[in-house]
Structure 1
Amino acid sequence: MPHFFSLTFACFVIILFSTINFSQFGGEKMKVLKIVLIVLAVLIGVIIILGFVAPKKYHVERDVIINAPKPLVFQHIKYWDNWHAWSPWAERDTIMTYSIKGTDGEEGSIYSWVGDPKITGTGEMVNTGIIENEEINYRLHFFEPMEDVSDGYLRLSEVDEGTRVVWAFYGTNPFPWNVVMLFMSLEKMVGPDFEHGLAMLKEICENEAAEAHQGSVQHDK
Structure 2
Amino acid sequence: MKVLKIIGLTLLGIVAIALLAAAFMRKEYLIEREITINKPKQEVFNYIKMIKNQDNFSKWNKADPAMKKEFSGTDGTVGFIYKWDGNDEVGTGEQEITKISDGER
Give, in whole Å, the separation in 2 of the partners of 1:60 and 1:107: 30
| Residue 64 of structure 2: aligned partner | 93
Aligned position for 1:131: 101
SS of structure 1 residue aligned to 2:97: strand
Q: Output the CA distance in 2 between the equivalents of 1:59 and 1:101.
A: 34
Q: What's the counterpart of residue 81 of structure 2?
A: 110
CA distance in 2, matches of 1:74, 1:59: 25
Aligned residue pairs, count: 79
* 8 Å CA contact 1:96, 1:115 repeated in 2: yes
Distance in 2 (alpha carbons) for counterparts of 1:110 and 1:59: 29
Q: What TM-score do you get using the length of structure 2 for normalisation? A: 0.63
Cα pair 1:70 1:133 within 8 Å, conserved: yes
Alignment match, 1:78: 49
Q: Which has the higher contact order (CA 8 A, sep 6+)?
A: 1
Shift of 1:83: 1.1
- Partners of 2:64 and 2:71 in 1: how far apart? 18
Structure having the larger proportion of residues in strand: 1
Q: Report the counterpart of residue 149 of structure 1 in structure 2.
A: none
Deviation track 1:138-157 (CA, whole Å, cap 9, x = no partner) reads: xxxxxxxxxxxxxxxxx2xx
Instruction: Work out the CA distance in 2 between the residues paired with 1:126 and 1:59.
Output: 26
Contact 1:80 1:100 in 2 (8 A): no
1:131: Cα distance to partner? 1.2
For residue 60 of structure 1, report the CA deviation from its aligned partner.
6.6
What is the Cα deviation at residue 62 of structure 1?
A: 3.9
- What does residue 27 of structure 1 align with? none
- Percent identical pairs in the alignment equals 42
The AA in structure 1 aligned to 2:95 is M
Q: 1:116, CA displacement in angstroms? A: 0.7
Match of 1:63 in 2: 34
Q: Residue in 2 aligned with 1:120? A: 90
Structure 1 residues 127 and 61, CA, compared in 2 at 3 Å: closer, same or farther? farther
- Secondary structure of residue in 2 paired with 1:64: coil
Distance 1:62 1:69, change over 3 A: same
Tell me how far apart the structure 2 counterparts of residues 59 and 128 of structure 1 sit (CA, whole Å): 26
